[in-house]
Structure 1
Amino acid sequence: MKHTGYSEVHLEFDSKAIAARQWGSVEGERVLALHGWLDNCASFDRLAPMLKGINLVALDMAGHGRSYHRSSDANYNIWEETEDILGAAEALGWRKFSLLAHSRGAIAGMIAAGAFPGRVKRLALIDGLVPPSAEDAQAPDILARAIAQRARYSVVRKPRVYRTFAQAVEARMNGMFPLSAWAAGVLTERGIRPADGGFIWRNDPRLMASSTAKLNGAQVRAFLSRLNMPVRLVLAEGGIEGMIERLHPVLKGHKNITVQVMPGSHHLHMEAGAEGIAAWFGPFLRGEADS
């Protein structure tokens, strides 16, 4: 399967550079797409062409793909993505827009929409909604672990070199969430760069470090309570273990969040599940499903 029909986009704001891909017509509904952890905007190569009538801009999030890496004194805490989401929208000249997001990107999108509900028209989320909450008493250990990991991943060391593109694709196929050869291939194509002896990943190694702080249950509920826009959430039958059960109590009382469980793995939008997602999300993102 080839991936065509997009244009490459370069966005600059606040001395940051975000790379992106754009599908559809500039006259269509404005939608920003946010990928998952250690992925890149090619995550939407299969789904995006199926979403007609939409001006879709899929971002390489900070530290991923061809976008900027945060400075040495900065972190990759999930809520810090909000500034980049709004910055990208401002660079595009978008005041109001919808979000299409997967996994970590879905969590970042929920937080951004909760912080700035007046900017986000609709949320279309794939296998992600809220981060696992932490107890207040865990805060010291969370901070200590994050600082230790940041130090470890900030050390300049020789990255793993893959002698061939095929070896890098194979590694991506067998990662935390197994992928098909095609899905791994498009992510790898954008996610690696040439190096002496072969290829290395572009991702910032510090993405492997845990957050310096995590939201507690009350904070998660506070963000959710501010989602005054319609939300559609696709959960994968074979997705993150325990997610479907974990979200049941979280979703109580949120009548604006509609959930549909679909067959497939965590990256179902990159597999055969893309057709079902497009059929459900397309009218929604175009505003045709508004009641």
Structure 2
Amino acid sequence: MNQITPREITLEFDNKTIAARQWGDREGEPVIALHGWLDNCASFDRLAPLLPGINLVALDMPGHGRSYHRSLDANYNIWEEAEDVLGVVHALGWRKFSIVAHSRGAIAGVITAGAFPDRVKRLALIDGLVPPFTKDEEAPENLAKAIAQRARYAARRLKVYSTFDEAVEARKNGMFPLTEWAARAITERGTREVEGGYTWSNDPRLMAASTAKLNEQQIKAYLSRLSMPVQLVLAEDGIAEMIERLRPVLHGCQGIEAQEMPGSHHLHLEESGAQAIAEWFAPFLRGEADA
């Protein structure tokens, strides 16, 4: 186990500030870590120390953790995160890099790699690959829904928890239940003190639907440009029906090596899950199979 503790860093580009934790060997293989929806870079606190020989920078994605929030006239459409990833690696001085990513972050990683296949060396994905396909005729309804939700969430009063432990308990029993350890790690990074207690630091507009969604042909186009090696871990007790939904997608993408592993959607935050993932991902991310 790599016992190096993380270094807190901030990365500035285009008048944006991304907060991050840098783990491991600064001379090692450069890897960007992208967390899931409403999580933050603490999502990798269990896995990162198990990846020796890797220079891993785990981001708080825009609107999450301690990173910047998009302006009121901007959106959190997932493909826009490719620009933030490129801004981060430019700030780090990296030309080529690999990505390890979970859930929504995995989808953002695939989009980034599909758009810029010459920049991404390897993709290591955890319980996420592509979003469900949308139908073209659904576009007007999707836009109307997104506009209504953006206005509602922008005006929403933030829930305040009287104690930090109350916030931990809420996160523990959220949409994707977490262990006590995992919930505390995510909550420590994802809350701020306010009058009367603690509230989430995430941008409430992250709860709104996307103004547009990718259709089947667009998703296939991104997947077709993944010229780099890809490893995908699927949680046996993860998002309902996701494994079945992804089987036909994987059948058409022979370059993606997938493994099912025991654990929940956040299996990388579980002790046994993190260990199993690290044993598979570590040599892959170090490029040992390329030698």
Common topology (TM > 0.5): yes
Unaligned runs of 5+ in 1: none
What residue in structure 1 maps to residue 228 of structure 2? Answer: 229
Deviations 1:237-275 (A, max 9, x none): 000111111111111232220000000000000002000
Matched, 1:290 2:290: yes
Deviations 1:15-73 (A, max 9, x none): 00000000011110000000000000000000000001000000000000000000000
How many Å separate the matches in 2 of 1:204 and 1:290?
40
What residue in structure 1 maps to residue 267 of structure 2? Answer: 268
How many Å separate the matches in 2 of 1:71 and 1:230?
36
What residue in structure 2 maps to residue 128 of structure 1? Answer: 128
What residue in structure 1 maps to residue 17 of structure 2? Answer: 17
The within-5 A match list for 1:142-291 is: 142-155=142-155, 157-271=156-270, 272-290=272-290
How many Å separate the matches in 1 of 2:258 and 2:18?
31
| Counterpart code for 1:108 | A
Q: Secondary structure at the match of 2:124?
A: strand
Q: Secondary structure at the match of 1:8?
A: strand
How many Å separate the matches in 2 of 1:38 and 1:178?
13
Q: Secondary structure at the match of 2:128?
A: coil
TM-score by length of 1: 0.98
**For the aligned residues, what is the CA RMSD?**
1.0
How many Å separate the matches in 2 of 1:174 and 1:7?
29
Q: Secondary structure at the match of 1:289?
A: helix
| Counterpart code for 2:257 | T
Q: Secondary structure at the match of 2:63?
A: coil
Between the aligned residues of both structures, percent identity stands at 72
User: Runs of at least 4 residues of structure 1 off by over 6 A?
Assistant: none
How many Å separate the matches in 2 of 1:289 and 1:234?
18
Shift, 1:289, TM fit: 2.1
How many Å separate the matches in 1 of 2:56 and 2:74?
29
| Counterpart code for 1:158 | R
The within-5 A match list for 1:91-130 is: 91-130=91-130
Shift, 1:147, TM fit: 0.4
How many Å separate the matches in 2 of 1:8 and 1:220?
35
Deviations 1:176-209 (A, max 9, x none): 0000000000000010000001001000000000
What residue in structure 2 maps to residue 140 of structure 1? Answer: 140
How many residues get paired? 288
How many Å separate the matches in 2 of 1:217 and 1:241?
20
What residue in structure 1 maps to residue 85 of structure 2? Answer: 85
Q: Secondary structure at the match of 2:288?
A: coil
How many Å separate the matches in 2 of 1:4 and 1:239?
30
Unaligned runs of 5+ in 2: none
How many Å separate the matches in 1 of 2:285 and 2:190?
28
Q: Secondary structure at the match of 2:99?
A: strand
